[in-house]
Amino acid sequence: MKYISLFVCFFIGLQTLNVPDYERLISNIESKVEIVDESKASFLSLKCRDVTNAIQIEKADLICRIEIQSQKKDKLESKYIQKKNYYELKKLEYGLDLNAIQKQDCMIQSYWIDKDLTKCFNEYKCSQNQYLKSRKQWKKNKHKLDLCESYLTRLDNCQKRLFERFSSLSQFNDLGEFDQDAMIAGNDALPAYGGYEILENKGMSCLVDGNYAIDTYSSFWQNPVENGTISARCWSYPDGSLHLGLDIASSMYSDVYALANGIVLYAHAPVESNNGYLGNMCGWPSGAGNSICMVVAVHDKLYAVSYAHLSNEIYVTSGQQVSQKTVIAKSGNSGNSTGPHTHIEVFELKQDLNSTVEYFRNSGADFSFGCGFNAAATCSDYACRIDPEIVLEGL
């Protein structure tokens, strides 16, 4: 309850922050990253995430304002230059006229020339002031945007450091607690395609009974994420702790592809796209956030592939047959995740498709296919967990 109260107070405080206030918050987070213990690491990661999300909202608003202000500034600059040039031209013309008038000693005409010239000058100075004011506001918001970028970099470094210190908290497994209402509600957003049922005890969508087939085998593996780069390799993190998949970093909402022709076993988006933090055990398997599991056919073999930490934009559902390079989801930062990326695991299957489907259903959607989540390169009667880089050549 203490942590919940702290979080509520912290979240309410975020609602009234201006950009300069973030300096104090982030400095406070940075001061705790190296001294926080494991029991409070998840809370600090959650705090990082919430400040990051608040700054990203501020950043998006600033980008819109800067774009509008830039257009306005350019128009005012053009008007100012036009008025200035017009005034300079009139001054030159009236200068010649005044010389002629003074020779004729015509004071009335000279008065009207001076009045008109003063009007041109005032219009020129007014347009100049409007332009300078607009440019000042534009520069101010550009500075705020630069601050936001630096704050986001610092928060990202905090998350990375927390991850380095407590990478053991980053695993997901099949032993978590389930929020059935949230999990079941996630099915409402899935397309009405294929057969699935709700497993009430776990609150997730899964295949119904039936005979399933994959029409054609793919001849190669598709890279899984648009413009993705490997951020953590399989079997272990740099500190030596266990990592059972391949992490592919990308910007939020990048396209996530079907690696090959196949059929979807499970697809579920029960949580928000960017709700991730270290130790967040939502989703299925516990900690995976929004996830997909499918069987794909490549060359003459069947493989199971799972995707975790997706956004809640998932475009497939269980029972659906998909073609290679189909966009099945958008990348995200959900579940036990400290930044936008897609976690991918690959299993080489030992059974035919329908035997695999039957096991998956009867096991309550076991994403490990009997291999568990406690050791690398394990095998069961149904599959062997393999390093995704073995098959994803050229990634």
pLDDT per position as a tens digit, 209-239? 567 888 899 999 999 999 999 998 898 887 7
Could you tell me the pLDDT band of residue 110, with boundaries at 50, 70 and 90? low
Q: How much is the pTM?
A: 0.75
177 and 123 in a common domain = no
Tell me, yes or no, whether 245 and 343 share the same domain. Answer: yes
Q: How far from 94 is each of 83, 109, 123, 234, CA to CA, in Å?
A: 16, 11, 17, 80
Q: Which residues of 282-302 are buried (b: 16+ CB within 10 A; e: fewer)?
A: bbbbbbbbbbbbbbbbbeeeb
Q: What's the whole-number mean pLDDT along residues 3-20?
A: 46
Same domain? 217 vs 150? no
Q: Is the pLDDT of residue 102 over 60?
A: no
Question: Strand pairing partners for 235?
Answer: 243
Domain end (from 119, 149, 165): 165
The CA R_g of the chain, rounded to the nearest whole Å, is 31
Structural contact between residues 314 and 269, judged by C-beta atoms closer than 8 angstroms? yes
Separation between Cα atoms, residue 152 and residue 168, nearest integer Å:
24
Across 74-88, 188-202, 208-222, which has the greatest mean pLDDT? 74-88
Q: What CATH number has the domain bearing residue 177? A: 2.70.70.10
Model confidence at 1: pLDDT above 70: no
Residue 370 Ramachandran class (φ > 0 left, ψ -120 to 50 alpha, else beta): left
**Domain check: are 150 and 179 in the same one?**
no
Q: Is the pLDDT of residue 18 over 90?
A: no
Please write the tens of the pLDDT for every residue from 260-276. Answer: 999 988 888 888 899 89
Shared domain check, 64 and 151: yes
Q: What percent of the chain has pLDDT over 90?
A: 48
For residue 205, pLDDT over 80 is answered with no
Quick: pLDDT tens for 272-303.
Answer: 899 899 888 888 888 898 999 999 999 999 99
- Report the C-alpha gap between 246 and 259 in whole angstroms: 14
- Domain stop point among 144, 165, 186: 165
**Position 191 confidence tier, pLDDT thresholds 50, 70, 90:** very low
Average pLDDT over residues 192-213: 47
| Same domain assignment for residues 369 and 333 | yes
Half-sphere exposure of 254 toward its Cβ, with a 13 Å CA cutoff? 19
- H-run or E-run covering 160: helix 107-165
The domain of 67 spans 2-165
The pLDDT of residue 109 is: 57
27 and 109 belong to one structural domain: yes
Least confident of 60-64, 104-108, 368-372: 104-108
Same domain, yes or no: 235 and 181:
yes
Provide the residue count of the chain. Answer: 395
- The structural domain count of the chain equals 2
Say whether both 104 and 189 belong to one domain. Answer: no
Q: How far is CA 331 from CA 127, 225, 308, in A?
A: 47, 8, 9
Q: Residue 334: is its pLDDT beyond 80?
A: yes
CA distance to 58, 270, 294, 296, per residue, from 203 (Å): 35, 10, 19, 25
User: Do 160 and 177 lie in a common domain?
Assistant: no
Provide the CB-side half-sphere exposure for 189 (13 A, CA).
Answer: 20
Looking at 165, 180, 199, which one is the last position of a domain? 165
What amino acid occupies position 211? N
CA dist 10 and 149 (Å) reads 22
Residues 238-260: tens digit of each pLDDT: 777 888 999 999 999 999 999 99
Q: What pLDDT, in 10s, does the model give residues 335-388?
A: 999 999 999 999 999 999 999 988 888 887 889 999 988 888 899 999 999 999
- Same domain (yes/no): 323, 278: yes
- Residue 130 tokens read as 């409007």
For 135-186, the pLDDT digits (tens) are 999 999 999 999 999 999 999 999 989 988 888 777 766 554 444 333 333 3
Residue 52 near residue 25 (C-beta atoms within 8 A): no
- 354 and 229 inside one domain: yes
pLDDT at 16 over 70: no
Strand ranges (E), the chain: 196-199, 204-207, 229-232, 235-236, 242-243, 246-249, 255-257, 262-268, 290-298, 301-314, 321-322, 327-331, 341-349, 383-386
